[in-house]
């Protein structure tokens, strides 16, 4: 049975996923319609800051994240300032996707948006119309509820998969404790 996939939900990769793009990934779903699904990996930080790719934002200490394996030559952002940023799309309560990029630069330069208000992504995660549903049938993903703290409290993004898996309850908290890599002796 395929769960109800919708924007604002979080995908958790099954613990033994082989695809290195999504191994222990946490993906925020931002759009889901008859054409497909778009989301961003929340726990794959690059060793770079946004100012390294957008010169107008030099000195703005916000890290870049790998949004996914699709169109790695594009820049995306999610934030919690939808009331300030025109053309933002609300993903769920307190979380917005995109918006007017020129105004974003202005708001950052005038310190109306701080690093804790936004995440920047290179590329995105995308699925065609029935692809994600099929991946659920094969057991590749689990669905979880979104909490804005998963995005805007970025201190421990590397352990985000474990945290959300544990938040799902008893049997999932056991899965969350499994080591990332294991071998039979």
The strand pairing partners of 64, in sequence order, are 120
In this prediction the pTM is: 0.90
**Is 70 exceeded by the pLDDT of residue 1?**
no
In this prediction, residue 170 carries a pLDDT of 64
Helices (H), 11-159: 101-109, 131-137, 149-152
Tens digit of pLDDT for each residue in 104-160?
Answer: 999 999 999 999 999 999 999 999 988 999 999 998 999 999 988 888 876 667 789
Distance CA 98, CA 184 (A): 45
Tens digit of pLDDT for each residue in 78-91?
Answer: 999 999 999 999 99
**Mean predicted lDDT score pLDDT of the chain:** 89
Neighbour-count burial of 168, counting CB atoms closer than 10 A to its CB (0-12 exposed, 13-18 middle, 19+ buried): middle
Q: 9-176, which class in CATH?
A: alpha beta
In this prediction, residue 185 carries a pLDDT of 42
Distance CA 65, CA 50 (A): 9
Report domain extents, the chain.
Answer: 9-176
């Amino acid at each position: 049975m395929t769960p109800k996939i919708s924007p604002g939900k979080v995908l958790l990769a099954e613990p033994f996923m082989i695809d290195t793009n999504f191994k222990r990934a946490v993906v925020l779903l931002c759009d889901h319609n008859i054409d497909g699904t778009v989301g961003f990996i929340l726990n794959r930080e690059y060793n770079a800051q946004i100012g390294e790719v957008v010169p107008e934002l030099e000195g703005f200490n916000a890290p870049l994240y790998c949004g996914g394996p699709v169109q790695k030559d594009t820049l995306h952002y999610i934030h919690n300032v939808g009331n300030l940023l025109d053309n933002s799309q609300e993903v769920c309560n307190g979380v917005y996707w995109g918006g007017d990029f020129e105004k974003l630069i202005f708001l950052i330069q005038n310190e109306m948006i701080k690093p804790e208000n936004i995440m920047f992504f290179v590329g995105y995660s995308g699925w065609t119309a029935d692809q994600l549903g099929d991946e659920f049938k094969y057991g590749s993903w689990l669905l979880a509820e979104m909490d804005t703290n998963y995005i805007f409290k970025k201190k421990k993004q590397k352990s985000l998969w474990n945290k959300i898996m544990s938040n799902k309850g008893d049997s999932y908290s056991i899965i969350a404790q499994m080591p990332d890599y294991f071998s039979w002796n």
